[in-house]
């Protein structure tokens, strides 16, 4: 983990990705107008007082017309609130759930490419493994399950056999991964004695056992303490340095802001924004932080419609406003004879961008 930690210090200090945006880039994941509709069984929706509901099923649109692209070698953050469609999108990407319409491809191969001549049964059960492309992907689900009576070496041996890793390479690969994820000290401990962070690390080791080019992580940082999240961020960035493409979903905005090259916001099954952090920050008016000594009821009333946020910090009042509204906020402070402490330009955080997008969706 020492290599991971030194790499992460370098990365955490960077506000924007270093990759050249204008250079041609190889597409690793592509969603094209993907939709997923689930049908709720009649038993769950039947209302005996409403005879018209008899024989009908409720349809739930989990994913609505999603289009996005992930490029080789980048860390791509898939961001959204609970129930937004993140996990459903990932299950379609990994071949676990069939999309209702649209096309998903990895490494240029469609995930759900079944010949038109195939029988209905074959269409459902035979996914043809995307021309072998799925074998180049490692996947860690949101709630992984491991046999907790096994040790790290034993569980990785199990996954190595499932992936067909040659016997001659297994021992070396298992030892390499145990050291990579920082579990060398726990190699003889059974998994039931592992913490949540340690289980997440063994999960990442399991999805790396076949040395995949693409790594898909569903909420890998959920439930971890700050130290565990930092260690996992370090590991993710180390994998990027080794040439891996990482696609991971999360609702922990701070972590995505630190390590992702690009992010996509999904809200109610639709992609609302996609791009680098700097691109997302530049789409709205620049923000300015106005810090004022004290406050009055009239000042708060005057700034309510102008400021994106107003917060009391000790004896100070912090107003975050868009640049065109700064003059009005300053005038309101002068009218109330409040002393201005500072006026500082600032960039919107990922959390502020995300909340703004969610509010726009609600307003529409």
Residues in the chain: 364
> Which token pair is 334?
């002068």
> Which token pair is 13?
């200090």
Q: Is the pLDDT of residue 364 over 90?
A: no
> Which token pair is 341?
């402490």
Q: How many other CB atoms are found less than 10 A from the CB of residue 202?
A: 24
128-177 confidence digits (pLDDT tens): 455 577 888 999 998 888 999 999 999 999 999 988 899 999 999 999 99
The residues with which 110 forms a beta bridge, in sequence order, are 105
Reference 92, options 239, 218, 208, 207; nearest CA is 218
% helix / strand / coil in the chain, to the nearest 5?
40, 25, 35
DSSP 97-166: S--SEEEEEETTEETT---TTS-HHHHHH--GGGGGGGGGEEEE-SS----TTS-HHHHHHHHHHHTT--
Q: Is the dihedral of CA 261, 262, 267, 273 positive or negative?
A: positive
The span from the first CA to the last CA of the chain, in angstroms, equals 46
305-350 confidence digits (pLDDT tens): 888 888 888 889 999 888 889 999 999 999 999 999 999 988 777 8
Cα 108–109–115 angle (5° rounding)?
Answer: 145
Q: Is the pLDDT of residue 229 over 90?
A: no
Q: CA 131 → CA 105, 112, 330, 358, distances in Å?
A: 10, 10, 62, 38
What is the C-alpha separation between 19 and 26, in angstroms, rounded? 13
Q: Give the pLDDT confidence score for residue 18 in this predicted structure.
A: 46
Q: Give the pLDDT confidence score for residue 47 in this predicted structure.
A: 57
* pLDDT tier for residue 20 given thresholds of 50, 70 and 90: very low
What is the C-alpha separation between 153 and 287, in angstroms, rounded? 51
Phi (first) and psi of residue 256, to 5 degrees: -65, -40
Contact 205, 183 (CB under 8 A): yes
Q: Give the pLDDT confidence score for residue 11 in this predicted structure.
A: 45
Q: Is the pLDDT of residue 256 over 70?
A: yes
Q: What is the mean pLDDT of the chain?
A: 82
Q: Is the pLDDT of residue 206 over 60?
A: yes
Q: Give the pLDDT confidence score for residue 83 in this predicted structure.
A: 85
Q: What is the CATH number of domain 2-281?
A: 3.40.50.300
More confident residue, 331 or 51: 331
What is the C-alpha separation between 35 and 110, in angstroms, rounded? 15
Q: Give the pLDDT confidence score for residue 49 in this predicted structure.
A: 56
The CATH number of 287-347, from 3.30.70.980, 3.30.420.10, 3.60.110.10, 3.30.2350.10, is 3.30.70.980
> Which token pair is 149?
């009576």
Q: Give the pLDDT confidence score for residue 76 in this predicted structure.
A: 96
The CB-based long-range contact list for 132-137 (8 Å cut-off, 24+ gap) reads 133/105, 133/106, 133/107, 133/108, 133/109, 134/94, 134/95, 134/106, 135/163, 135/210, 135/212, 136/106, 136/107, 136/212, 136/213, 136/214, 137/94, 137/106, 137/212, 137/213, 137/214, 137/215, 137/216
What is the C-alpha separation between 2 and 313, in angstroms, rounded? 38
Reference 353, options 307, 305, 288, 308; nearest CA is 308
Q: Give the pLDDT confidence score for residue 7 in this predicted structure.
A: 45
54-90 confidence digits (pLDDT tens): 555 678 889 998 999 999 999 999 988 888 899 999 9
129-139 confidence digits (pLDDT tens): 555 778 889 99
Q: CA 328 → CA 288, 302, 321, 325, 336, distances in Å?
A: 12, 9, 10, 5, 13
Contact 290, 321 (CB under 8 A): yes
Spatial CB neighbours of 174, under 8 Å, sequence gap ≥ 6:
153, 156, 157, 160, 209
For the CA atoms of 181, 185, 189, 194, the dihedral, rounded to the nearest 10 degrees, stands at -50
Phi (first) and psi of residue 97, to 5 degrees: -130, 135
Q: Give the pLDDT confidence score for residue 122 in this predicted structure.
A: 55
Q: Where do the structural domains in the chain lie, given as residue ranges?
A: 2-281, 287-347
The percent of residues in the chain predicted with pLDDT above 70, rounded, is 81
């Amino acid at each position: 983990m020492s290599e991971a930690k030194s790499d992460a210090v370098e990365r955490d200090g960077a506000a924007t990705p270093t990759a050249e945006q204008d250079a041609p880039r190889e597409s690793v994941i592509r969603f094209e107008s993907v939709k997923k509709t689930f049908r709720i069984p009649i038993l769950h929706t039947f209302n005996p007082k409403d005879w018209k509901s008899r024989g009908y099923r409720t349809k739930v649109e989990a994913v609505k017309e999603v289009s996005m692209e992930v490029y080789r070698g980048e860390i791509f953050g898939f961001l959204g609130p609970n129930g937004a469609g993140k996990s459903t999108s990932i299950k379609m990407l990994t071949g676990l759930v069939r999309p209702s319409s649209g096309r998903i491809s990895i490494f240029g191969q469609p995930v759900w490419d079944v010949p038109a001549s195939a029988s209905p049964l074959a269409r459902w059960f035979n996914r043809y493994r995307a021309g072998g492309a799925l074998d180049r992907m490692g996947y860690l689900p949101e709630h992984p399950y491991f046999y907790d009576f096994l040790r790290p070496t034993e569980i990785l041996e199990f996954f190595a056999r499932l992936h067909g890793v040659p016997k001659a390479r297994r021992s070396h690969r298992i030892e390499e991964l145990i050291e990579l994820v920082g579990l060398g000290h726990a190699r003889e401990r059974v998994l039931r004695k592992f913490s949540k962070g340690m289980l997440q690390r063994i999960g990442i080791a399991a999805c790396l056992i076949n040395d995949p080019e693409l790594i898909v992580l569903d909420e890998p940082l959920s439930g971890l303490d700050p130290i565990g999240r930092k260690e996992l961020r370090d590991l993710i960035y180390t994998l990027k340095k080794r040439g891996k493409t990482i696609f991971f979903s999360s609702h922990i905005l701070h972590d995505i802001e630190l390590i992702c090259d690009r992010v996509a916001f999904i809200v109610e099954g639709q992609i609302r924004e996609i791009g680098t952090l700097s691109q997302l920050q530049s789409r709205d008016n620049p923000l300015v932080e106005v810090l004022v000594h004290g406050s009055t009821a009239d000042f708060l009333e005057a700034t309510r419609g102008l400021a994106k946020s107003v917060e009391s910090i000790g004896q100070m009042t912090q107003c975050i406003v868009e640049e065109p509204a700064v003059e009005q906020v300053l005038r309101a402070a002068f009218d109330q004879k409040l002393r201005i402490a500072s006026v500082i330009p600032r960039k919107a955080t990922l959390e502020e961008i995300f909340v703004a997008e969610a509010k726009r969706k609600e307003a529409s």
